[in-house]
Amino acid sequence: MEFREKVMLKDYTTFKIGGEARYFCEVKNIDELMEAVIFARKGDLPILIIGGGSNMLISDDGFLGLVIKMEIKGIEISETLNSALLAVGSGENWDSLVETSVSKGLYGLENLSGIPGTVGGTPVQNIGAYGVEVGEYIKDVEYFDTNDLKIKSLNGGECEFDYRDSIFKRSKSKKWIITRVTFELKKKAKLKLDYKDISEYFLQKNIKKLTLHAVRKAILEIRSRKFPDLKEVGTAGSFFKNPIVTKKHFLSLTKMYPDLPFYKASYGRVKIPLGWVLEHICGVKGVRINDVASFEKQALVLVNYGNAKSNDVYNYACEIQQQVLAKTGIEVEWEVRYVK
Ligand code: NAP
């Protein structure tokens, strides 16, 4: 396997930002992964795993270690009477997997259409959209433990899935590399159409025949209206997590902002759409500083219009966080991973 030197990481992230990797390799199977990890061990190099590079901001200073790009492919399908198991290599493109599942008439992933990145990244932040979280459909996650060079696995319950969160974000999993994810999808299930954007879409288009294909098409269209086209601008999608606050905090906010939208969250808490806060309270929607901007159609998304530096994005994101804190008392967390 080839270990390339001084590879520009901006070419491997959807933000189109990131300096050089000291070493870089692409792994297609477990043997190559083992070889890469041993190479890093011998050179005492830190490891950075990249899938689709769709949820990271990499510093312009680059990464002084080994970057491993996951290219482990393959989809193995086994069927039971009512469901199907799909064991998928972590380097498979996520949206191609969703397309495959829809074309095979399998229910579960259709609302997650159009999300960039690879399969291996999906359990890490438990990607979710339009009322569905991927963790609901994950049977198990196989990973390579670089501590003892062994393949291990966790079942869905053990992954500790939560809102945009999982065990794979905790420090104990720092040395784990996800190699395969197995999904369990149903042959028949109810479509989830309660998000406003989806129900309005079908109502406006007067579509009565609601199929898996129709939902996928709807979501791809809705997303393309709201989210930037990766072919045109650099972005890592939603930059911040939508905050979940206590009921008491929420009630105090409604006194200042009576129109504040909200959704019920677990443990009596309240989820607040941060895009609304950024647009209506902070007024940052569409605001551009040099080549970094809060996207004009969805303020939660930060975009790179060409030559943004990692520091430009970092400073702008911190400024937004401070504004939100000052105006609402909410401590906003990054959804995007910062590699510096
Ligand atoms: P949106 O649909 O305008 O929703 C904004 C916020 O309101 C989100 O926090 C969303 O919760 C919540 N929400 C809206 N309708 C809801 C309902 N019926 N019940 C409960 N909560 C509701 O958001 P958007 O920016 O256009 O994004 C569309 C979807 O893609 C959202 O679900 C968003 O979370 C998702 N998305 C996910 C990622 C990711 O996983 N990295 C990145 C970008 C967008 P939820 O966040 O729980 O859906």
The pLDDT tens digits for 89-136 are 999 999 999 999 999 999 999 999 999 999 999 999 999 999 999 999
Catalytic residue (one of 90, 173, 238, 310): 238
Average pLDDT over residues 72-87: 97
User: Alpha carbon 143 to chain centroid distance?
Assistant: 18
Choose the residue to mutate in 271, 277, 295, 337 for probing ligand 1, maximizing ligand atoms within 8 Å of C-beta.
271
- Asked if 238 is an active-site residue, the reply is yes
Q: E-strand spans in the chain? A: 4-8, 20-27, 47-50, 56-58, 63-70, 75-79, 83-89, 128-129, 132-133, 138-145, 150-155, 176-186, 234-238, 244-245, 263-264, 270-271, 288-289, 292-294, 301-304, 337-339
Note the pLDDT of residue 332. 97
Q: Of all protein residues, whose CA lies closest to atom 13 belonging to ligand 1?
A: 263
The confidence score (pLDDT) of residue 317 equals 98
pLDDT over 90 percentage in the chain: 99
The closest alpha carbon to 48, from 60, 66, 30, belongs to 66
Reported pTM: 0.95
pLDDT tier at 205, thresholds 50, 70, 90: very high
Residue 256 CA to residue 237 CA, distance in Å, equals: 29
Q: What is the pLDDT of residues 44-63, one digit of tens each?
A: 999 999 999 999 999 999 99
Q: Which of 164, 166, 173, 294 is catalytic?
A: 164
291 Cβ contact partners less than 8 Å away, ≥ 6 residues apart: 304, 305, 306, 307, 308, 312
Q: In this predicted structure, what is the pLDDT of residue 99? A: 98
Nearest one of 114, 150, 145 to 129, comparing CA atoms = 114
The rounded Cα 35 to chain-centroid distance in angstroms is 28
Given a contact cutoff of 8 angstroms between Cβ atoms, the answer to whether 90 and 179 are in contact is yes
Decide: 129 in ligand 1 pocket, CB within 6 A.
yes
Cβ atoms of 250 and 277 closer than 8 Å: no
Which pLDDT value is given to residue 13? 98
Dist CA 284 CA 199 (whole Å): 28
For residues 53-81, b (16+ Cβ closer than 10 Å) or e, as one string? bbbbbbbbebbebbbbbbbbeeeeeeeee
Asked if 336 and 236 touch (Cβ cutoff 8 Å), the reply is yes
Rounded CA gap, 158 and 52, in Å? Answer: 25
What tens digit of pLDDT does each residue of 158-193 get?
999 999 999 999 999 999 999 999 999 999 999 999
Query: pLDDT tens digits, residue range 9-40?
Result: 999 999 999 999 999 999 999 999 999 999 99
